[in-house]
Amino acid sequence: MELRENEKLKAGKMSVREQYWKYSLIAIILLLGVIIFFKITPFLGGFLGASTLYILLRGQAFYLTEQWHWRKWIMAVVLLLESLFFCLIPLALVVWLLISKLKAVDLEPQSLMVPVQHVVDLIHEKTGYDVMSRGNMSSLVGFLPKFGQALVGSIGSFAVNILVLLLVLYFMLIGGRRMEKYIREILPFNRRNKKDVLHEFHMVVRSNAIGVPVLAIIQGAAASLGYYLFNVPEVLLWGVISCFATVIPVIGVGIVWLPLVLYLGATGHWGMGLGLAAYCLVVVGNIDNLVRSVLQKKMADTHPLITIFGVIIGLSLFGFMGVIFGPLLLAIFVLCVEIFREEYLENSAS
């Protein structure tokens, strides 16, 4: 009897010791995880970009290694080259175009402010309301070179994140199914919920990674055609900016063409300005609705509010990659709430 009690006491002590080890290990993991996250934040765009490209390329990777029996490193190199030529190099060229145009503005900021001053003077003449004082105009002129310099300075960060992306993507492709199996094992869900979470992750990332560029290219091309037809200067520049503006929730490309309409009117071309406004409202706006509806049918049918607020949250958290991972963050949050409701609230109620 006494021996049995000693064994129970010993087992209890071992349980306390194991609990101490368990929670100490959790604390160490959390502490180191937070430190690593904050230190890795400047390279977060590269990691998120690599994750996005891996999801898009994983099907090709498995086909090349499992059906064609390619060596993994050869497959990884080929897919990296594919990513470079079809994704990263075009993106770098677009960034270079914007930077080159902004450097010109940096040298002659007054030239950019001339049409702005025309609009301000016209509003003051017609309404008597001074939208922007001369002092504010001078401050804005002084801000433009600083903005241009900051943007040019971000080229270094962009280049470093591209290198990080390529490096991380290479090892993700090499890891393949073994990496995916490890991720599935550490997810804190049962088998069915793991499948739902991973499916949601895959669908939202794939939908946004393909849908956002497709929408940007189509809508930017349509807007560029309008700029060309109605004699807007620097059609290529404004077309590229319109492509990026498609990610802005609600207003989208309107943030570009509305000022251009005012510019045309301020320079005495009200007919052209009204024509551009009508074209953008009818053509560009409907193209946006049409493309979004088609993409939602073909890919993840994400609720519009999740997309809108996801983009707003994601841009502040992750930068440009937040266009993809912001909606994903909200979608996974909603899915986790639904899993909690099904697994615990409904079960406890029954």
pLDDT tens-digit map of 18-76: 888 888 998 999 999 999 988 888 888 889 889 989 999 999 999 999 999 999 999 99
Share of the chain above pLDDT 70, in %: 74
At 105-145, the pLDDT tens digits run 554 555 555 555 666 666 566 555 555 555 555 554 555 55
Give the distance, in angstroms, between the CA of residue 286 and the centroid of all CA atoms in the same chain.
Answer: 23
CA-to-CA dists, residue 142 to 105, 121, 149, 209, 339, angstroms: 11, 20, 12, 37, 53
pLDDT for 116: 58
Mean pLDDT, the chain, integer: 78
At 21-36, the pLDDT tens digits run 888 998 999 999 999 9
Tokens of 64: 């090349």
Helices in 67-190 by DSSP H: which ranges? 72-83, 89-107, 109-127, 134-186
Give the distance, in angstroms, between the CA of residue 45 and the centroid of all CA atoms in the same chain.
Answer: 9
Cβ atoms 207, 300 nearer than 8 A? yes
Q: Does the pTM exceed 0.85?
A: no
Cα atoms found within 13 Å of the Cα of residue 35, Cβ hemisphere only: 6
pLDDT for 115: 58
Cα–Cα dist 61/65, whole Å: 6
**Burial classification of residue 173, based on how many CB atoms lie within 10 Å of its CB (0-12 exposed, 13-18 middle, 19 or more buried):** buried
At 213-232, the pLDDT tens digits run 888 888 889 999 999 999 88
Confidence of residue 212 (pLDDT cuts 50, 70, 90): confident
Confidence of residue 88 (pLDDT cuts 50, 70, 90): confident
More confident residue, 160 or 50: 50
pLDDT for 199: 83
The whole-number average pLDDT for the span 194-212 is 82
Domain ranges of the chain: 41-186, 187-350
Share of the chain above pLDDT 90, in %: 23
DSSP secondary structure, 301-326, as one string: ---HHHHHHHHHHHHHHHGGGHHHHH
